[in-house]
Amino acid sequence: MEQQARAWRGRRVLVTGADGFLGSHLVERLLERGATVAVLVRPSSVVGTAGHALRNLAPVQASLDEIIAADVAGSDAVEAMVAWAPERLLHLAADAYVERSFTHPAEVLRTNLDGTLRVLEAARRIPGLERVLVTSSSEIYGDALTPAIDEQHPLAPTSPYAASKVAADRLAYAYHRTHGLPVAIIRPFNTFGPRHPYDVIPKLIARALAGEPLVVYGSGEQSRDFSYVDDMVEAFLVMGSHPEAIGRALNFGTGVATSIRELAGRIVAISGSSSPIVHGPPRAAEVRRLCCDHGLATRLLGWRPRVTLDDGLARNLAWAREHAAP
């Protein structure tokens, strides 16, 4: 822990997508470790002309060195990132809701691919840049062909969202090879925890606490590798600082696949809810199984997951109860 603290203390760090679920947790941890942090947030996070209205980062807003309100896929974002001149640039901004890519593919592609292109172009102009960390996704792999997915698994996206992340992932690698940028690519598997506004776990938790039926789409046998947010933040920190991460794309997850039907049952049991579990129609482009082989990240960087699924669900449920609408 002290070694990680030294790795970030005093560093100038710019985080895109900083007011989102994962980005906000990462910013909080960076501030705790003594980094000087600037954030890039969507213009919709800004209200009026007097200041910034942040959702998740409001409690630490006064500790931020600068708040940049810009479209990550626009030219203004490039100029602002270059002007602030970070030593490390952590790119999390994305249009990450898979179902939105079914109806708004052009907008999703623009944010995820063009936004990454803008970040990489900005990185080329920042003198002394030590690292640009690009966030990919486990969705790039499609259906698992092996019990656990390592970095050599074929990339076979099943949705426009996943395709946009494949393109951004490989673009980042190409910039490393073409321009010598100190790029690292992180491939997180499903992450959950406080402040996540969508995806299966927060939806099921909300329904369990409200006593409503928990809807499982299709058979419920489709499975995912769920990591608690604290573990994934540590993955971002090590990928953003460890010298072995440069030029690599690495997977981060628990190595345990849990079916959605089993997940719903665990949430009912841990919450003490009386909610029934019901089945809905199958979802389009659904990946049948995602399970992470994090062996390379463990060998190279020393990272390993610490929080079990049940412990993470209990923490998430406690937070949801505390923050439930009156």
What is each CA distance from 286 to 82, 199, 203, 273, 292, in whole angstroms? 39, 13, 17, 27, 17
Instruction: Give one word for 267, left, alpha or beta, with left for phi > 0 and alpha for psi -120 to 50.
Output: alpha
Give, to the nearest 10 degrees, the angle between helix 115-124 and helix 160-179: 10
Cα Rg, the chain, nearest whole Å: 19
Q: What is the pLDDT of residue 2?
A: 57
- CA pair distance 267, 138, nearest whole angstrom: 23
pLDDT grade for 4, boundaries at 50, 70 and 90: low
Q: Which CATH number do you get for residue 132?
A: 3.40.50.720
For the segment 149-198, what is each residue's pLDDT rounded down to a tens digit? Answer: 999 999 999 999 999 999 999 999 999 999 999 999 999 999 999 999 88
Provide the sign of the torsion angle of the four alpha carbons 224, 167, 250, 233, taken in this order.
negative
Domain total of the chain: 1
What does the angle CA 89 – CA 91 – CA 92 come to, to the nearest 5 degrees? Answer: 145
The answer to whether residues 238 and 302 touch, using CB atoms and an 8 Å cutoff, is yes
Averaged over 290-315, what is the pLDDT?
A: 98
For 164, how many CA atoms within 13 A lie in the half-sphere containing its CB? 26
pLDDT grade for 324, boundaries at 50, 70 and 90: confident
The answer to whether residues 322 and 175 touch, using CB atoms and an 8 Å cutoff, is no
The tokens 């006593």 sit on which residue?
A: 211
User: Domain range holding 49?
Assistant: 2-322
Mean pLDDT of the chain: 94
- List residues bridging with 251 in a β-sheet: 187
b/e burial code for range 283-311 (CB count within 10 A of at least 16 → b): eebebebbbbbbebbeeebebebebebee
For the segment 256-269, what is each residue's pLDDT rounded down to a tens digit? Answer: 999 999 999 999 99
Number of Cβ within 10 Å of residue 95's Cβ equals 20
161 is catalytic: yes
- CA pair distance 98, 104, nearest whole angstrom: 10
The predicted model scores a pTM of 0.95
* Catalytic annotation, pick one of 97, 141, 161, 217: 161
For the segment 32-59, what is each residue's pLDDT rounded down to a tens digit? Answer: 999 999 999 988 655 543 345 788 999 9
Instruction: Give one word for 142, left, alpha or beta, with left for phi > 0 and alpha for psi -120 to 50.
Output: left
Q: What is the pLDDT of residue 49?
A: 36
Q: What percent of the chain has pLDDT over 90?
A: 89
Give the lowest-confidence range in 14-18, 85-89, 93-97, 284-288: 284-288
More confident site: 285 or 88: 88
Indicate if the pLDDT at residue 253 is higher than 60.
yes
